[in-house]
Amino acid sequence: MDFDWNTEQQDFRSTVRAFLEANLPDNWEELAHGPGSKAQTLFSREFCGALADAGLLVPHWPARWGGRDADPWIAFILAEEMWAAGEPRGGQYMNVNWIGPTLMRYGSQEQQARYIPPMARGASLWCQGFSEPEAGSDLASLRTRADRHGDVYRINGQKIWTSYAGHADTCFLLARTSPGKGGISIFLLPMDTPGITVRQIPSIIGEGDIHEVFFDDVEVPETARLGEEGQAWDIVRVSLSLERVGIPRFALASRMLHRAVALLKNADRFGPDAAAQAARAHAACEVSRLYSYSIIDQRVHGQATSPEASAGRFSTVNCERLVSEFVVEHVPDALAGGDPMLLAHHQRGIVAGIASGAAEIQLNLIATELLRLPREPR
């Protein structure tokens, strides 16, 4: 594998950095705290619209959907630079990484025409209705039901820990249409549909980030279903593999580690113990980066990446954890209002092992799919 950047990739990274320099406001680091807040949501819509106008929102998408058919490396360079800056795209990173590509692969012509163009313009925000009070990473246990009545479905149930639901336009919803593991289907559900109630959950990671969502006799047409009944597992496996690799959180972790080290050096407090701990955290960030690069290389060569995506996801959780521990131990004052970006990273790091699939579940997938170990008895 050759990870040297070619001229096109270097030029693209420079273009993205120049765009960020020109378009992030002076108070961006304060806005970065609270990724689901109203203030950041409004900013992200404006920012993503400007990205789209500059041809930088979805360059890896097909030209027919507003992209320019760039390869996965371009998409990952874009994501890397966005995350290093604190992810100013907000929740729209989901559109770019996996919701749009999923609809391109599985959506009907009507669904594609309705939902993909607004994503490509940076004009829509989605949330994902996966987790439930008694079904977190174990999606086979979900209870939200979609009962068919003629040509409509009536949805009843509850979702929880739903990021961005308070401001989202549409929900990528999993619901049960029949018993058993194969009885789960996906619905594309406008959030202004009657019968939907959204309640914010108080959170230490910022204003407005997570919610519980209730569905009471919510009626949607058959055309709102993505794919066939019972096809959710096949679709979600593809979607989550795209999401997990498309979030290079190591980029922000590495930047925050360097910032914390600089604070210590400026205060003449960067002693041997701090240096050793910083070295371990830096090594973990590099492991995560190289693991992610290897997965992108596999994609470029048309190789399947699902088990490796779980391993890459866990390496990212580990690097964020080590950086957060370093900051807590050596520059705790930065978390008490001294540095809003370090605080924002620390808060995101707290939930890093939960979002996009719990770290424990990723370890189980690594054990069974990569190491071929027997499944844990139930």
Instruction: Name the residue with higher pLDDT: 145 or 369.
Output: 145
- In degrees and rounded to multiples of 5, residue 64 shows phi and psi of -65, -15
278 exposure class (CB count in 10 Å sphere: 0-12, 13-18, 19+): buried
Do 206 and 176 reside in the same domain of the chain?
yes
Mean pLDDT lowest for which of 10-14, 196-200, 300-304, 357-361? 357-361
Do 167 and 259 reside in the same domain of the chain?
no
Distance from first CA to last CA of the chain, Å, rounded?
40
DSSP string, 87-111: -TTGGGHHIIIIIHHHHHHH--HHH
Q: Is residue 239 part of a domain?
A: no
pLDDT tens for each residue of 6-53: 999 999 999 999 999 999 999 898 887 666 678 888 899 999 999 999
**pLDDT at residue number 81:** 97
pLDDT tens for each residue of 273-287: 999 999 999 999 999
Q: What is the CATH number of the domain that holds 281?
A: 1.20.140.10
pLDDT tens for each residue of 132-178: 987 766 677 899 999 999 999 999 999 998 989 999 999 999 999 99
| Mean pLDDT value across the chain | 88
Regarding pTM above 0.95, the answer is no
178, 202, 230 - which closes a domain: 230
Q: Of 95, 165, 176, 98, which Cα lies nearest the Cα of 135?
A: 176
Range 62-91 average pLDDT: 94
Report residue 265 as tokens. 């050096």
Do 255 and 359 reside in the same domain of the chain?
yes
pLDDT at 378 over 90: no
pLDDT at 359 over 60: no
Do 270 and 293 reside in the same domain of the chain?
yes
Q: How confident is the model at residue 186 (pLDDT cuts 50, 70, 90)?
A: very high
**pLDDT at residue number 369:** 62
pLDDT at 364 over 80: no
Residues 208, 28: Cα–Cα separation, whole Å: 17
- For residue 322, which amino acid is it? L
Distances (CA, A) of 364 to 139, 249, 292, 310, 352: 15, 21, 19, 9, 17
Number of domains in the chain: 3
Do 115 and 183 reside in the same domain of the chain?
no
Do 114 and 204 reside in the same domain of the chain?
no
Do 310 and 362 reside in the same domain of the chain?
yes
Instruction: Name the residue with higher pLDDT: 115 or 292.
Output: 115
Do 105 and 136 reside in the same domain of the chain?
no
Q: Is residue 238 part of a domain?
A: no
Q: What is the CATH number of the domain that holds 78?
A: 1.10.540.10
**pLDDT at residue number 372:** 67
Q: Is residue 58 part of a domain?
A: yes
Mean pLDDT: which of 169-183, 296-310, 344-358 is highest?
Answer: 169-183
**pLDDT at residue number 177:** 96
Do 366 and 253 reside in the same domain of the chain?
yes
pLDDT tens for each residue of 241-276: 776 665 798 999 999 999 999 999 999 999 999 999
Instruction: Name the residue with higher pLDDT: 377 or 353.
Output: 377
89, 124, 159 - which closes a domain: 124
92, 124, 156 - which closes a domain: 124
Q: Is residue 1 part of a domain?
A: no
Do 260 and 343 reside in the same domain of the chain?
yes
**pLDDT at residue number 351:** 65
Instruction: Name the residue with higher pLDDT: 349 or 201.
Output: 201
**pLDDT at residue number 210:** 84
Residue ranges with strand state E in 168-249: 170-176, 184-190, 196-200, 211-221, 225-226
pLDDT at 295 over 60: yes
Q: What is the CATH number of the domain that holds 218?
A: 2.40.110.10
Do 40 and 99 reside in the same domain of the chain?
yes
**pLDDT at residue number 345:** 86
Q: Is residue 265 part of a domain?
A: yes
**pLDDT at residue number 354:** 54
Give the count of beta carbons closer than 10 Å to the beta carbon of residue 308: 21
In the chain, how many H helices and how many E strands?
Answer: 13, 8
Q: Of 319, 253, 312, which Cα lies nearest the Cα of 280?
A: 319
**pLDDT exceeding 70 applies to what percent of the chain?**
86
Q: How confident is the model at residue 219 (pLDDT cuts 50, 70, 90)?
A: very high
Q: Is residue 241 part of a domain?
A: no
Q: 79: domain range?
A: 7-124
SS3 for 209?
coil
**pLDDT at residue number 4:** 84
Q: Is residue 237 part of a domain?
A: no
Do 131 and 72 reside in the same domain of the chain?
no
Q: Is residue 375 part of a domain?
A: no
